[in-house]
Structure 1
Amino acid sequence: MTTVDDPSSHRVAAFPSALAAEASALDAADPLAPLRDEFIGSETSLVYFDGNSLGRPLRRSAERLHRFVHEQWGGRLIRGWDESWMALPFEIGDAVGRAAIGAAPGQTVIGDSTTVLLYKLIRAAFDAQHAGDDRRVEIIADTDNFPTDRYLVEGIAAERGGRVRWITVDRFSGVSPDALREALSPRTAVVVLSHVAYRSGFLADAPELTRLTHDAGALILWDLCHSAGSVAVEADAWDFDLAVGCTYKYLNGGPGSPAFAYVAHRHQDRLAQPIQGWMGAADVFAMGPEYVPAAGMRRFLSGTPPIVGMLALQDTLALLDEVGIDAVRAKSIALTGFAVRLTDELLAPLGVTVASPRDPADRGGHVTLQHPSMRAVTARLWKGDVIPDYRDPEGLRIGLSPLSTSFAETLSGMVAVRDAVIAEGP
């Protein structure tokens, strides 16, 4: 028996020597390993398995926020809007496009919450499609998409006199090309899918599903909340129409940081977003009697941009620019593969099963483990500073952030999961 040279490993007395050696070797060979020290909390023994819900903060982000309060907000005051703040939603949006989602400039903006941006773009797409062909009254979504997405498509369909065509999916996977092909028809207006399934981590075949949607004359919106900053996305190359993603997971924007919206150049002038506010007007400060939408991505804004909430994003985006999303994805595959192997060795004998795809080509950045006691296991782990999250039915999610998670931390956490399952019993 031996220990792994990482602070998080010392929370557990010892590990099987072969696994400890493997974790140490993987960390030693990891080109991204030095970046872990740039995150606040990495020096502690806490094991963080929830980076796919809320990422750790970067030390440089704490410094950025401090400078902003004292120098820009406190020093420049209202002058900050003219000097830089009005441009930030577009500058940071373009950085998201470049570093995280494969989008050329002028197509991505930082705006409201994920829910609000999803509403705006789904509703705008539905209206445009229906106006062009009144047969197009269906929104396609799957039964295991994130609750917000499902609730929104139901609400928009009811609001606009449409209906939802549901694709029933296996919770261990997601929407396949065959399933989408069967659901598409001349009645389809919009397809709403998640690139990475929030529950299972299933990685959808975005290029093929987008192609099928276009062949049917419909538009597709991709939810990139569990993709951006973790897996490669090529919005332009894959011919996306629309996309929305949150920024507080793998982009480390902080609790409630605003989401981003992507609208392909070809759609920007034809889509009318439904929440008409002053920031989306052609002349923001004209205060005119009528709303005239701005050209380009500004038309998808509504109210005053949440400047403080988008500041920390710049630091993770700079890291992604530096190392490249391919390196991040390679480590993500290695981390999740290691977690699956640890499950097989440490947890399978206890009745724990992997509720995520085993093929890394079909898996995003997290792994879900299933066992009848997982709700109690999660609560026990939290008390001991091991932080996964729980998702029904009986699922414990292991969210592994490639920039901030080590293999030693992963081993430490998985040993703690084993111990908690044993303690909670069958």
Structure 2
Amino acid sequence: MTEDLLGRHRDVLPDWLALYYQDPLEITHGEGRYVWDAHGTKYLDFFGGILTTMTAHALPEVTKAVTEQAGRIIHSSTLYLNRPMVELAERVAQLSGIPDARVFFTTSGTEANDTALLLATTYRRSNTVLAMRNSYHGRSFSSVGITGNRGWSPTSLSPLQTMYVHGGVRNRGPFAAMDDDGFVRACVDDLTDLLGHTRPPAALIAEPIQGVGGFTSPPDGLYAAFREVLSERGILWIADEVQTGWGRTGDHFWGWQAHDRNGPPDILTFAKGIGNGMSIGGVVARADIMNCLDSNSISTFGGTQVTMAAGLANLTYLLEHDLQGNARRVGGLLIERLRAVAVRVPHVREVRGRGLMIGVELTTPGTDRADPDAASAVLEAARAGGLLIGKGGGHNTSALRIAPPLSLTVAEAEEGAAILDHALRSLDQ
């Protein structure tokens, strides 16, 4: 029984290990864009294990690749040559857009960002890092230390000195009332002023679209404008693509491409969707940056054969079926459908996003005050209607996060929108 499992969970796992819903849900199996709980209830999945089930649940191509690889060898560590790891690294390096790229595989986005910080601080001989306000980069000691979202940063201790920059949130803060060009200029001026008061940092780390922060983003081109200021001082740009990568935004394969007039980032991190649920993360960097470490290193589980086989099969499926294009088409339809709903719901402050990465920000009607209780209520109501979504945001978790598998159909988008319509309208009852 689920009730018994919840009690056992509480007996042996940390109190801070968050669970969704007043009556927590046990998911037992999935297929396509749907999952089932322990009671046999079917749900349309609009969150994909936190943007991780990128193509589909139980995708036959991935399941077959994992099964076949597991029948040969599951793991050997990076101390031995590993054909699936080399093959996936070749494809990721080519897709990254980074010249003379090198790829290092990890087991998570947290570990990928840790590695990127290690590379940048070593390469630049500086332990100072620039990060964005409202950002999230993982749960390890160093990645928590640069996270700019109070709700996900349990300690102020850090091995790094972090300075936070304006720009990740378009519709809040001191520059919110400006037009896009004015907003970008003000953020660049703020960055330039900040750099005039400190020794040169190692890098700026930034999510092109802030994930845990509620799917917020700056105007296109902001990070290219930042890059001009950073490049003059030799400061690196790390693009955290853990949530935005692999075509989820529809318009681009990588989030950084919305800001690309100065080319790709110096370092790119990825995770989540590439494994379709298998534990894969990684870092891509120019060879001179990746090779700057002067001691030996390995990864016991990063790049293990069975996860690499899954990643190869998943990436092949994504490219051959143009799931980026599907995210653009179906995501565009879903965003417009939700905006039409929002007009009739006073709690909705904004529907934002691109592709199949959509945020719905909720506030107290008639104000800009975040309303986390409303977000929790909609989460529960959507579940009752047969839909799973997420939540986030830098202002007391008041944004709904919608990120279905990229193979979502038009009919499923309409089904999910109808359930969300009902759930949002229930706030006024």
Flag the 1:196–1:177 CA change in 2: closer, same or farther, 3 A.
Answer: farther
Distance 1:193 1:112, change over 3 A: same
Kept in 1: contact 2:65–2:310 (CA 8 A): yes
Q: Deviations over 1:208-238 (max 9, x none)?
A: 4333321222111110112211232378982
Instruction: Provide the residue aligned with 2:392 in structure 1.
Output: 391
| Higher strand proportion (structure 1 or 2) | 2
Residues of 2 paired with 1:166 and 1:42: CA distance? 37
Shift of 1:418: 1.4
In the alignment, which of 132, 140, 146 is matched to residue 130 of structure 2? 140
In the TM superposition, what are the counterparts of 1:158-307 in structure 2 within 5 Å? 163-169=161-167, 171-172=169-170, 176=184, 178-184=186-192, 185=195, 187-198=200-211, 199-202=214-217, 205=221, 206-230=223-247, 231-233=252-254, 238-246=263-271, 248-249=272-273, 251-255=274-278, 257-272=279-294, 292-293=295-296, 301-305=298-302, 306-307=304-305
User: Are 2:99 and 2:286, in contact at CA under 8 Å, matched by a contact in 1?
Assistant: no
Counterpart of 2:111, as a letter, is V
Cα deviation, residue 318, structure 1: 0.8
Query: Quick check: 1:92 aligned with 2:84?
Result: no
Deviation, 1:180, is 4.3
| Cα shift at 1:112 | 3.1
Contact 1:355 1:367 in 2 (8 A): no
Cα distance in 2 between the residues matched to 1:171 and 1:240: 20
Q: Which structure: greater helix fraction? A: 1
Shift of 1:138: 3.0
| Alpha-carbon offset, residue 188 of structure 1 | 2.4
RMSD over equivalenced CA pairs, Å: 3.6
Q: Does 1:50 align with 2:47?
A: yes
**Residues 390, 63 of structure 1: alpha-carbon distance in 2 compared, 3 angstrom cutoff:** same
Give 5+ residue unaligned stretches, structure 2.
Answer: 1-29, 36-41, 148-152, 173-182, 363-370
1:264 positional shift:
0.9
Q: In the alignment, does 2:403 pair up with 1:412?
A: no
Secondary structure of the corresponding residue to residue 162 of structure 2: strand
Equivalent pair of 1:254/1:312 in contact (CA under 8 Å): no
Query: Which residue of the partner structure matches residue 347 of structure 1?
Result: 342
Q: Deviations over 1:107-154 (max 9, x none)?
A: 223223221221122133123323xxxxx5531111111152862437
Deviation, 1:349, is: 0.6
Query: 1:351-388 CA deviation, whole Å, 9 max, x = no partner?
Result: 24363547xxxx46411112342212112322443111
- What is the distance in 2 between the residues matched to 1:388 and 1:181? 37
Give the whole-Å Cα distance in 2 for the aligned partners of 1:105 and 1:124. 16
- For the residue of structure 2 that corresponds to 1:107, the secondary structure is strand
Equivalent AA in structure 2 for residue 421 of structure 1: L
Q: Residues 368 and 239 of structure 1: is their aligned pair in 2 closer, same or farther, counting only changes over 3 Å?
A: closer
| C-alpha deviation, 1:262, in angstroms | 0.6
CA–CA distance in structure 2, aligned partners of residues 139 and 43 of structure 1: 41
Give the greater-gyration-radius structure (CA).
1
Give 1:254 shift.
Answer: 0.8
Contact 1:172–1:202 under 8 Å retained in 2 = yes
**What's the TM-score, normalizing by structure 2?**
0.68
**Closer, same or farther in 2 for the Cα pair 1:243/1:170, shift >3 Å?**
closer
**Paired residues of 1:172 and 1:200 also in contact (CA < 8 A):** no
Pairs aligned (count): 340
Write the distance in 2 (CA, Å) between the matches of 1:81 and 1:171. Answer: 40
TM-score with structure 1 setting the length: 0.68
- Looking at structure 2, the residues matched to 67 and 84 of structure 1 have their Cα atoms a distance apart, in angstroms, of 20
Secondary structure, in 3 states, of the residue corresponding to 2:413?
helix
Unaligned runs of 5+ in 1: 1-38, 131-135, 273-291, 294-298
**Compared with structure 1, are the counterparts of its residues 200 and 416 closer, same or farther at alpha carbon in structure 2 (3 Å cutoff)?**
same
Alpha-carbon distance change, 419 to 49 in structure 1, aligned in 2, over 3 angstroms: same
Distance change (3 Å), C-alpha of 1:61 and 1:211: same
- 8 Å Cα contact 2:335/2:351 also seen in 1: no
Distance 1:311-1:168 versus aligned 2 partners, 3 A rule: same
- Cα distance in 1 for partners of 2:275, 2:107 equals 16
Paired AA for residue 390 in structure 1? K
Does the 8 Å contact 2:339/2:351 carry over to 1?
Answer: no
Does the aligned pair in 2 maintain the 1:157–1:164 contact within 8 Å? no
% identity of equivalent residues: 12
| Aligned 1:308-327 pairs, distance under 5 A | 308-323=306-321
Which residue does the alignment assign to 1:11? none
Contact kept in structure 1, 2:330 and 2:355, CA below 8 Å: no
